Amino acid sequence: MLPYRRIRSCRKKSTAIYPPETPQPDRKNIAYTGTSVTYGRGKAVITATGMSTAFGKLAGLLEDIERERTPLQEKLDQFGRWLGTATLIVVAFVAILGIIEGFDPFEMFLWGVALAVAAIPEALPAVVTVGLALGVRRMVKRHALVRKLPSVETLGSTNIICTDKTGTLTQNKMTVEKVYVNGTLLKVTGEGYKPTGDFFNGDKPVSEDIHLHRLLATGTLCNDAGLVENEGVWDITGDPTEGALVVAAAKEGIWKNALEEKHERKGEVPFSSERKMMTTLNSSEDGLYAYSKGAPEVILASCTKIFLEGHEEELTPERKQEILNVVNDLANQTLRVMGFAYRKVPEDILYEEAEKEMVFSGLMGMRDPPREEVKLGIATCTSAGIRTIMITGDHKTTAFAIARELGIFREGDLVLTGTELEALAIGNLKKSWRKFRSTQGFIPSIS
């Protein structure tokens, strides 16, 4: 058997011509400043240098950031100007009145200076600092750490909050709730990382099913996470999404350590945001198999067959559309959906060929439950006049469903992908921004 190696996550370059509206990350015919060449050779035409490059423009944008003064600082400046003007007027009036009354001009000058000094509130900076410090103390009691004192005051002036989703609005504890296999949608019970639960087809339990076993085994072998127990408490090591797959398999009695002893990993093509899938090569009693997981549309594009009724059948366009409809339905239920596939491969196969002509084995829908306090927090912000924007890398449909569940999305709000946002003309972007400012919110989903 030829030795396999871990393939570094990379993006292949191309000489193809792309439309002008192609987003910068998708322009594979351009090597940007900072690009690392991992293999291959080629010639390139330099189109920009220094600050004219994409990297340089980004650095220029960061240089142009201006630190605005806080509302409190602006008010203190305004108060200082008003107090200084009022003091000068009063001092001048007192000095002139004293001279008119016959007092010595030099003596009245000294009285005016003394009056001006007395009118200046020397303790004002100390009072402001103490007030902000008390605010920091109150924030600490609410489990919020404030690094800079002025932040306490600017927090009270907040009118827009931009927030991430995973781990911020949600618990970042993925749990498999739905499984689509053999043309049937199954429900999975159990909570958290504890490997106890069952699979149900309606009200009927499903167990020892060859289709379900193959799907769960694929998700376990094509996986870098682990399931551990410490003093009766179950937890995962690695990525929460991959951990959810290992937990789901354990509920069916498929334990990763035991499975990997029988199916040793010989190589892998790791996940990358460009490919949106991961593939491992594992040995078996009857040969070498490739197991893949990733975005459903990407997995389906790599498949020519589907595992149905105990054997492999052709994956027709109609069946692909049916699967995509299931994906959309699960996404509307705020589930993150992953597709799975496998294929028996030759012993000497090249890793570039492992992800072709695969057999689709099924889908898994996972939920990252929202934090219990988030919905109340968003409602509190809304009642205080603060608009909430959710920015996430999830699928647009999933982002919309979660935003609606948490109360971020309301009728008339906008849901935009990164591509749609970038494609907006400046005029339309300003119009969308004015609409956002006059309604409730605006949820970009960077998918």
Q: What residues are labeled active site?
A: 164
Question: For 285-400, where are the E strands, in sequence order?
Answer: 287-294, 303-308, 311-314, 336-345, 358-367, 387-390
Q: Which two tokens stand for residue 90?
A: 């009063």
* 3-state secondary structure at position 26: helix
Q: Give the dihedral of Cα atoms 286, 290, 291, 295; nearest 10 deg.
A: -160
Q: How far apart are CA 112 and CA 119, in angstroms?
A: 11
Q: Which two tokens stand for residue 272?
A: 């990358």
Q: How far apart are CA 384 and CA 391, in angstroms?
A: 21
Q: Which two tokens stand for residue 111?
A: 């009285």
Q: How far apart are CA 167 and CA 40, in angstroms?
A: 39
Q: Please answer whether residues 326 and 300 qualify as being in contact, where contact means their C-beta atoms are separated by less than 8 angstroms.
A: no
The bridge status of strand 287-294 relative to strand 336-345 is antiparallel
Q: How far apart are CA 100 and CA 271, in angstroms?
A: 89
**How many other C-beta atoms lie within 10 A of the C-beta of residue 247?**
25
User: Nearest to residue 64, comparing CAs of 56, 54, 73?
Assistant: 56
The bridge status of strand 387-390 relative to strand 160-163 is parallel
**How many other C-beta atoms lie within 10 A of the C-beta of residue 202?**
10
Q: How far apart are CA 320 and CA 363, in angstroms?
A: 12
Q: How far apart are CA 209 and CA 26, in angstroms?
A: 41
Helices marked H in 195-295 — which ranges? 210-221, 240-251, 256-262
Query: H-helix or E-strand containing 269?
Result: strand 265-269
- What radius of gyration, in Å, describes the C-alpha atoms of the chain? 32
**3-state SS, one letter per residue, for 147-159:** CCHHHHHHHCCCC
